[in-house]
Amino acid sequence: MANALQANIQKGGQNSYYYAHSDSSGGLRSTLGDAPRLLEVVPIQSSGSSSPSVRPIVPISNFAWSDADKFVKIYFDFEGASTILKEEDITISLKNEGRGLEIRIVNESKNQVLLFKRERLHATVTAVKAKRFEKRVVVTLTKEDAEGTWFELESKGGVDDE
């Protein structure tokens, strides 16, 4: 008798809930704990050089966040952030009329760009700012609706699901 995972895949085929998560042997493929993967390579023009250098883009997957009345804060661990990073090393862009967010942190010491990107925030954001501390970077998002509570950082539905 096949296990429940294999039975579900046999019954539903490619439309099975577990189909995308199965490996070739019918077992469940692990999607957690993978090493960071390269998303893109962006040429960066350094101030002292005429030719751009290339830094790999590394996604940020380890973060925490909190909801307060008027703000949502996102915390990124970064040892030595206040001494290693300069203010211009952190760029934050609001996209999709305040519902999307992209944060890029240029880490000169590791020659990489860290990327945090969310396409559908829980609700609309009107302003963002970053602050560097010794062991972390904190990004503060100003909520459009100060009374609204965020139960999740990213909305699971469409953009119009407030």
Domain positions in the chain are 1-32, 41-143
In whole angstroms, give the CA distance from residue 29 to residue 88: 40
Least confident range from 8-12, 117-121, 147-151: namely 8-12
Which tokens belong to 52? 């751009």
The reply to whether the predicted model has a pTM over 0.85 is: no
Residues 82-106 have a mean pLDDT of 92
> Mean pLDDT of all residues in the chain?
81
Least confident range from 33-37, 44-48, 97-101: namely 44-48
* pLDDT range class, residue 124, cuts 50, 70, 90: very high
At 20 the pLDDT is 63
| C-alpha 75, offset from chain centre | 11
Alpha helices in 19-90 (DSSP H): 81-84
* More confident call, 24 vs 154: 154
* More confident call, 18 vs 85: 85
- Fold adopted by 41-143: Immunoglobulin-like (2.60.40)
